[in-house]
Amino acid sequence: MSTPQLAVNSRIRPTPYSERVEAAGVKGYTVYNHMLLPAVFRSLVDDYRHLKQHVQLWDVACERQVEIRGPDAARLVQTMTPRDLSRAARGRCLYAPLVDERGGLVNDPVVLKLADDRFWLSIADSDVLLWARGLALGFGYEVSVEEPDVSPLAVQGPKSDELMARVFGEAVRAIRFFRFEPLDFHGHPLLVARSGWSKQGGFEIYLDDSSLGLDLWDALWAAGEDLEVGPGCPNLIERIEGGLLSYGGDMDLDNNPFECGLDRYCNLDRPIEFLGREALARIAESGPARRVVGLRIDGQVLPSCRRHWPVQAGGESVGRVTSATVSPDLGCGIALAMLDRGQWTPGRRVEVATPDSVRAATVSALPFI
């Protein structure tokens, strides 16, 4: 399949930064939460090299916020996740898998606790607003569930602290990992978190006024010229190297958190109430039937992984590759794969059926780097 064009219409929402993203020469988009998400600027490899060396601005407005507010807000959020949020302090970002009554993954947002009765769920690609609102209505919880005008802009890469300090002041350097603070931008306080979907360090700015989007982009761009600031986006290579799973591609409603290596976010020993507690307790006891691992694939060329690839060992099906690419820094193919129990041991040799050919591969722990 050749690379198709994306037919953009009003059903697919632009972002407050789209004008600048286009001016910066975006070459490919994906669609995420019914919104445009840049996928490549120069090339996957050029973007990857730049991300690891410099600093990039990422239009991740598609990380929509689901705001849950009201007397039952904490209760509703806890109902949705097996992670114990009872001791969370304001100003914390909490990665929290959401599960349904069977323990199936609904989404894997970062939860921002804004106040005891007010949370943002910074979501991956599924309509959490409908899920949360449906639950709230059914259970009769006293909460509002809304999508506010919030469009995150990520600043990622090793020079992020320097760039952010120039625009938001030196205070930004003191923000700890997965904490957020309100910082002034042109007289408007914006929540700034030390977080982001790369392993290169950086921040996410929760812009809560779309009309400031171009100003924010321009201010960061202008301040970063000598830092070689560039446009960027979540990078397939870097995120597989770092073992970051993409909801909808690497895991979905048919997977539970244990299959996805999210065991530490399942606080079954705590006295909290959430959907799927019984289901997760059963899985915890018996152990998951499959699990996400890394694969190093022999060779330095791979086709695009547009659909899952079968994985075999000794002629038997043992799982599937869910994402794959070639890592320039590792000099081989790397993949995320969901493998059956008994197939997880690092070093185990398996075979991956790519659309082009069958390739030998070695099970690897995650992250790769």
Residues at the interface with a second copy (CB under 8 A): 1-14, 18, 22, 26-31, 34, 39-40, 100-101, 106, 125-140, 236, 246-250, 253, 275, 304-308, 322-323
User: Which residue has tokens 């609904």?
Assistant: 106
Q: Give the residue with the Cβ less far from a second copy, 122 or 246.
A: 246
Q: Which residues contact 124 (CB under 8 A, 6 or more apart)?
A: 63, 107, 108, 109, 246, 247, 248
Which H/E stretch holds residue 289?
none
Q: Give the residue with the Cβ less far from a second copy, 257 or 276.
A: 276
Q: Which residues contact 99 (CB under 8 A, 6 or more apart)?
A: 80, 81, 82, 105, 106, 256, 257, 274, 275, 276, 279, 280
> At closest approach, how far in Å is the CB of 210 from a second copy?
12
> At closest approach, how far in Å is the CB of 21 from a second copy?
9
Q: Rounded CA gap, 255 and 103, in Å?
A: 8
> At closest approach, how far in Å is the CB of 172 from a second copy?
31
Q: Give the residue with the Cβ less far from a second copy, 99 or 163.
A: 99
Q: Give the residue from 149, 136, 140 showing the smallest Cα distance to 64.
A: 149
Which H/E stretch holds residue 218?
helix 213-223
Q: Give the residue with the Cβ less far from a second copy, 283 or 337.
A: 337
> At closest approach, how far in Å is the CB of 342 from a second copy?
24
Q: Give the residue with the Cβ less far from a second copy, 152 or 276.
A: 276
Q: What is the DSSP letter of 250?
A: T
> At closest approach, how far in Å is the CB of 129 from a second copy?
8
> At closest approach, how far in Å is the CB of 69 from a second copy?
16
Q: Give the residue with the Cβ less far from a second copy, 45 or 165.
A: 45
The token duo for 11 is: 């059903």
